[in-house]
Amino acid sequence: MNRKIIVLDTTLRDGEQVPGAKLNMQQKVEIAQQLKRLHVDIIEAGFPASSAGDFQAVQEIARSVGDSVTITALARAVKNDIDAVYESIKLAQNPLIHIVLGTSNIHVEKKFNRSKEAVMQMGVDAVKYAKTLLPNVQYSTEDASRSDFEYLWKTIEAVVKAGATMINVPDTVGFAVPEQFGDLIRRLNERLKNLNENVVLSVHCHNDLGLATANTLSAIKNGAEKIECTINGLGERAGNTSLEEVVMALKVRESFYNSYTDIQTKELLRTSRLVSHLTGLDVQVNKAITGENAFAHSSGIHQDGLLKDKQVYEIMSPEDVGAESMELILTARSGRHAFKNAVEKMGFATTDAADFEQLFGKFLALADAKKEVYDHDVFYLVTSHRTLNE
């Protein structure tokens, strides 16, 4: 039976850490409302201890959209941060405290300058304190992919015994590669399910090597039950796992992953455009799923194939992600089939073969000069050609 994958969107927390992506409270609420329409399971609304503005935004999101979506926010493993999270999310129906603390040697030695045991104890104390406030607590082992496996496991075991209900395994600096990350998740999952089968295993990947989507999918294949991602892959440095990519990979390849999400994929494009508009950060044109060219075809061979049957060159339909339909860009490489289709779509006849050949010659000359030929160009081409020949 297929497994449901829980989707946590962190556009408003990790995504908002991008330089230049400052959002005001109203904009954050607008994005949260759209994330609810998209049917994400959990919204990470911010890092409330970081500023009064962030606190208020998280509170407003919890109040206004927290009726059906789980709301979480980030805390370091310290009482003040946990209190700030609790106070800001407590109005949501299903609030979740998210605690983060590093497990790699470099974090333990350089960031905290404490012994491994002392750092682990900080995590345990933080979870125990959070559990006095709320039943649901997620613990993130920051820099997990660069951590010593046995210490990572000991930490997970200790925080689960202290009451953590979700364990999130971050590839904080995008160091992981798919086979290795999948293997890490498989080993952790085996031990975790023996310890407490109700604890959810989650992953959080960064894209420094362009592998965030691949690592997330590999983790799913190896037992991860929850994924963390952002719209348009926004996030620190090269960004986080792009929600739209993983969701569509699971939809298109459902029988390979035996997994699905509850995401309303027809809302993906609208969400992507909203986030891009409000953050002022453009989506690259060839970005998978939501880029401007994601469903645009310009080569003649492809256009001809698509006009025969869309499946020849399309693995998903544009309508599935909320785009209008595939787009055939007319260029000098477009063949007769694509040009004929464009002319006929405008209501002009193409039955006179000699006349059509002349028209196609004019189209190629125009396409050479202009590079891309739009509907209005085709219209002008046909009407002026027909007037001349009358």
Residues that bind ligand KIV (CB under 6 A): 14, 74, 100, 140, 142, 168, 170, 172, 204, 206
Cβ at position 170, least distance to Zn ion in Å? 6
Nearer to Zn ion, 143 or 267 (CB): 143
206 is in an annotated binding site: yes
Cβ at position 74, least distance to ligand KIV in Å? 6
Cβ at position 331, least distance to ligand KIV in Å? 42
204 is in an annotated binding site: yes
Nearer to ligand KIV, 140 or 331 (CB): 140
Q: How far is CA 285 from CA 82, 282, 289, in A?
A: 40, 9, 10
Cβ at position 44, least distance to ligand KIV in Å? 9
Of Zn ion, ligand KIV, none, which one does residue 287 interact with (CB within 5 to 8 Å by kind)? none
Cβ at position 47, least distance to Zn ion in Å? 11
Nearer to Zn ion, 185 or 342 (CB): 185
Q: CA 89 to CA 126: how far, in whole Å?
A: 17
Of ligand KIV, Zn ion, none, which one does residue 233 interact with (CB within 5 to 8 Å by kind)? none
Of ligand KIV, Zn ion, none, which one does residue 259 interact with (CB within 5 to 8 Å by kind)? none
Q: CA 124 to CA 294: how far, in whole Å?
A: 46
Nearer to Zn ion, 203 or 367 (CB): 203
Cβ at position 348, least distance to ligand KIV in Å? 56
Of ligand KIV, Zn ion, none, which one does residue 74 interact with (CB within 5 to 8 Å by kind)? ligand KIV
Name the residue whose CB lies closest to Zn ion. Answer: 14
Token code pair at residue 88: 């800001």
Nearer to ligand KIV, 246 or 338 (CB): 246
**SS3 track for the chain:** CCEECEEEECCCCCHHHCCCCCCCHHHHHHHHHHHHHHCCCEEECCCHHHCHHHHHHHHHHHHHHCCCCEEEEEEECCHHHHHHHHHHHCCCCCEEEEEEEECCHHHHHHHHCCCHHHHHHHHHHHHHHHHHHCCCEEEEEECHHHCCHHHHHHHHHHHHHCCCCEEEEEECCCCCCHHHHHHHHHHHHHHHHHHCCCCEEEEEEECCCCCHHHHHHHHHHCCCCEEEEEHHHCCCCCCECEHHHHHHHHHHCHHHHCEECCCCHHHHHHHHHHHHHHHCCCCCCCCCCCCCCCCEECCHHHHHHHHHCHHHCCCCCHHHHCCCCCEECECCCCCHHHHHHHHHHCCCCCCCHHHHHHHHHHHHHHHHHHCCECHHHHHHHHHHHHHHHC
Nearer to ligand KIV, 101 or 321 (CB): 101
Cβ at position 333, least distance to ligand KIV in Å? 43
Residues that bind Zn ion (CB under 5 A): 14
Nearer to ligand KIV, 172 or 298 (CB): 172
The residues pairing with 228 across neighbouring beta strands, listed in sequence order, are 8, 204
Query: From the annotation, which residues make up the binding site for Mn(2+)?
Result: 14, 204, 206, 240
Annotated binding-site ranges: 14, 204, 206, 240
